[in-house]
Chain A
């Protein structure tokens, strides 16, 4: 996927001010930046969940395999671009029904449900914990388990791209570790775009890194490179301490206001 000159506004408030971002196939791309910099909005634009907000207006280009995402039926786009949310939002159904929900919604008729169920739960590193209780309610699981069921549910629909919006934000360290295992396990088979506030996590799981600030991409490159020799001072500051004291150039409007990220 890639975006060119992507601008997104909620009402009169512009949240993304021209994003040009390539998303490499089969790689993990992490989006980092202070709260309110537009990471989540960017993510929601990639599968057009922004369509659900009536005040949201999008301009610019988003493509998947060269096809224009904005011209597609959003339902068909979302079948190719899945998403895992910040809060584990399992449906109040059994684990089995949760994982197969998207597959069944597609209505392909005869499908190897059992096979899909097991393989996606395995990829999400939760098969062993739930294999004997597939018909129990997903709500009975712990938060970390629920989040991995959410990942399995997304993988089950075999999307090309998996978007993750701070998937570890509400999890304990052990669950976060399993989550990261899962991300590393699916790398290669799926393209992953992950938003995270956890900078060490971005370092651990991502191949590419984009640092966003005030609706713009300040710096983008290979994760290793960005951590080793960041081009911008703000990138260095953020990756080292999570704080930006001197706003990056190009953010003239933001320079006047104190940064409280």
Chain B
């Protein structure tokens, strides 16, 4: 009896310490970069143009990160949710769905640098677009769609069958049931999917090196609203070096007196941006569900 109790206490202690160390690692990473960056941080770093001679800023790079993220999500989320609706509600069981699932897992485990090379061949070279935000976003979609679909599918499968039966019994069609009952109940799960894929987009460098480009961007002219002009920051066809790619670049080939400070500052901005996005989308998801379902939970 005493051994059983001891084992129980041991298991509790081990599990708690593992959970605790996860939190500690997170705090350590955030603290390390924030502390390293703090002495050199000025708000102008967020908007100024990059430079390695003096501490400039990450304005255009930050913009590109947000832009590529938005563009990727614009493609990934609808495709992922529709794919998940098919997988969870229509496909049933059989050979076809097994094959789809197998491909999903395979694409999901292809190294992102390989996805980048594929993106270069298809979205950069074959299309003749060159290095563009759109090519980067499409490469990231290839990379992220399996994850988004899988998470959205899980969210939909978690919706109790009772709710579906209730909707059918009221004479709703299958599509009405999916739209008005299944999807609204699945929102928290869908938001988790969006957050996880978005985090990968923000942090991804390898897949973007060969697709969105790694040229240090110059001054952005936000007055240029021509969406087809590669010089417009609004255009999907502009070269879009993101924060992660920029960080990789200055760390691997940057020279100059302030490279280390700029790298630390960039890393800190990256981390804080991911945190803000994470918390923001969670809050947005809750708001969305409350609006749609009228619940106060």
Among B166, B171, B184, B297: residue with most chain A CB under 10 A: B171
When chains A and B are docked, how far (Å) is the Cα of A89 from the Cα of B163?
A: 6
When chains A and B are docked, how far (Å) is the Cα of A250 from the Cα of B294?
A: 53
Q: Is A160 an interface residue when CB atoms closer than 8 A count as contact?
A: no
B165's partner among A85, A97, A136, A154 (CB-CB below 8 A) is A85
Chain A contacts for B173, CB-based, 8 A: 75, 105
Chain B contacts for A101, CB-based, 8 A: 167, 170, 172, 180
Q: Is the CB of A105 within 8 A of B169?
A: no
Q: Is the CB of B171 within 8 A of A92?
A: no
Q: Is A224 an interface residue when CB atoms closer than 8 A count as contact?
A: no
Chain B contacts for A105, CB-based, 8 A: 167, 170-173, 176, 180
Q: Is B253 an interface residue when CB atoms closer than 8 A count as contact?
A: no
Number of interface residues of A (CB under 8 A): 33
Q: Is A135 an interface residue when CB atoms closer than 8 A count as contact?
A: yes
Q: Is the CB of B294 within 8 A of A93?
A: yes
Q: Is the CB of B171 within 8 A of A75?
A: yes
> From residue 64 to 120 of chain A, which have CB atoms closer than 8 A to chain B?
74-76, 78-79, 82-83, 85, 87, 89-94, 97, 101-102, 105-106
Chain A contacts for B294, CB-based, 8 A: 92-94, 97, 135-137
Q: Which residue of B lies closest to A92 (CB)?
A: B293
Q: Is the CB of B180 within 8 A of A49?
A: no
Q: Is the CB of B172 within 8 A of A89?
A: no
> From residue 154 to 204 of chain B, which have CB atoms closer than 8 A to chain A?
160-173, 176, 180-181, 184-185
Q: Is the CB of B169 within 8 A of A49?
A: yes
Q: Is B256 an interface residue when CB atoms closer than 8 A count as contact?
A: no
When chains A and B are docked, how far (Å) is the Cα of A149 from the Cα of B7?
A: 50
Chain A contacts for B185, CB-based, 8 A: 92
Q: Is the CB of A78 within 8 A of B296?
A: no
Q: Is A15 an interface residue when CB atoms closer than 8 A count as contact?
A: no
Chain B contacts for A85, CB-based, 8 A: 162, 165-166, 169
Q: Which residue of A lies closest to B297 (CB)?
A: A139
B171's partner among A78, A87, A137 (CB-CB below 8 A) is A78
Q: Is A150 an interface residue when CB atoms closer than 8 A count as contact?
A: yes
When chains A and B are docked, how far (Å) is the Cα of A139 from the Cα of B173?
A: 24
Q: Is the CB of B295 within 8 A of A102?
A: no
